[in-house]
Structure 1
Amino acid sequence: MNQFESRGHLLTEQSNPNSEDLDRLDALGLVDLFCREDARTVEAVAASREAIARAIDLTTDALRRGGRLFYVGAGTSGRLGVLDAAECPPTFCTPPELVQGIIAGGRDALVRSSEALEDRSEDGEAAIAQRNIGETDVVVGITAGGTTPYVCGAIAEARRRHATTVFIACVPVEQVAIDADADIRLLVGPEVLAGSTRLKAGTATKLVLNILSTSVMVRLGKVFRNRMVDVSVTNSKLRDRAIRTIVDLTELSREAAAHLLDRCQNHVKLALLVHWSGLAIDDARSLLDRHRGQLRAALDSATEVR
């Protein structure tokens, strides 16, 4: 019997002794129990800090070389990957193809359970091949129990294509080993509801994806100080955020900040460089391009020239 045929030994499938009386608790008791158990997710993420940092470095390097980032998962894990990928364009003004989510079963699986589709490793391999994933790309396999054939097949195919691979699971290496360039293990322990990995495992995974994508974008120059300076101004909320960012960083009036943003065609980073450097818009845009979108480096360069 192989690891895919019996999963009862996995940490994610065990019964949690702290929730043996789950069905006897009142509402307040349930809330308190979940809060105590969920506190373990942050501890688990912190314990994997070195592996997460390695994934950040590897992904940043790949994207600087023109690569793409792919999340691959099934069920909850797949949905979390798709969610993180979908949030990158509005937050960091990235093209939709830069960060992509791949879920077993495709779009339908986002709103309807299709768990049986996770059992075909060849489908995971095909998903990698269909996207022409290569050596400059990064594939992050997400599987709480570590054994999902769809994800393992995707990771194996990605390695065959010399892509960078990251593995995220909530079981120890001793239970499920895999070859990956960065191996992140989030040991949150058994779930409050035995085997329901949408709970602590899902929460810990979401935390890691938040850290990974945000940190990579920081390293790629999408952030100045702690502000979103590559925000995509696509609605009134985001326009307000863009204007407030300029006001906070420059102390311009709101009216002046809005005018500057309009002149720079809603590009916050460009607006800031124009304001601080005194350069013409086209010159500031060229300077940003030369520094690969790094506002701080462009500012330093403009200061040296002056």
Structure 2
Amino acid sequence: MAPGNSTPVTEFILMGVSDRPELQIPLFFVFLVIYGLTALGNLGIITLTSVDSRLQTPMYFFLRHLAIINLGNSTVIAPKMLINFLVKKKTTLYYECATQLGGFLVFIVAEIFMLAVMAYDRYVAICNPLLYTVVVSQRVCLLLVSLTYAYGFFTAVMVSSCVFSVSYCSSNVINHFYCDNVPLLALSCSDTYMPETVVFISAATNLFFSMTIVLVSYSNIVLSILRIRSAAGRKKAFSTCGSHMMAVTVFYGTLLFMYLQPRTNHSLDTDKMASVFYTLVIPMLNPMIYSLRNKDVKDALKRCVANPC
């Protein structure tokens, strides 16, 4: 901690998930397993959708990039978190903290809009199947993915620059397991109105537009499926988007729980628990959701196991 209010902070101390010493080693192994499963599952999805000729469609192209984003998001958070379980002094340098915040924002914003892109892809596939190859062409897929990453990078630079434009000169203990904007701004010894406004507007805008795309897409999908007369046709249509609907529900449900809870019940400890879910648990669950509920992915995995070459 800095010795005085006039001394700028050069490093931060992360409190972690829990400050109880007896829980550090058990929590280390729990989150090591979570990160190991996340890496294994997402690398499996990336590999299968890259090498299997039957998965070279826009749907699996977007799924591959969702897996890349999930893996990137966990990798930004988990290694430093695991190290801090094993050391007494849980410090992170000022610029290391800024880099972690920027990396986290790149991937979390990219995930928000990648889920929206995948919802739009399913909307076109089910509601306008005859135009699917024209509307969702290879060029359009590359453009949508590029814009998603570019916007995530732009948001990360803008928000992290605002968060680290304020002064940190008294407390340097972050009540979190990684460098996040809300607990960081809570430590500032200068006026935080502008960065807090930027963070709020950015989060609200991103959630509003992405959820609007998802809700409109799936409203049209459900209406289109209900108009299908045969039960087999409805079942097939639901199966093509069931995995994505589950992933979207889990992800947005966590974010809405975090941002829409009453301010009287809101705390940094609650944010910490929600953050564990959408930075570590959801990236672990997504490959399971898409592989267990998707026949094409399961068949591709069987072919890969039967003939690895």
Q: If the length of structure 2 is used for normalisation, what is the TM-score? A: 0.25
Higher relative contact order (CA 8 A, sep 6+): 2
Q: Which has the larger radius of gyration?
A: 1
From the two aligned structures, give the one with the greater helix fraction: 2
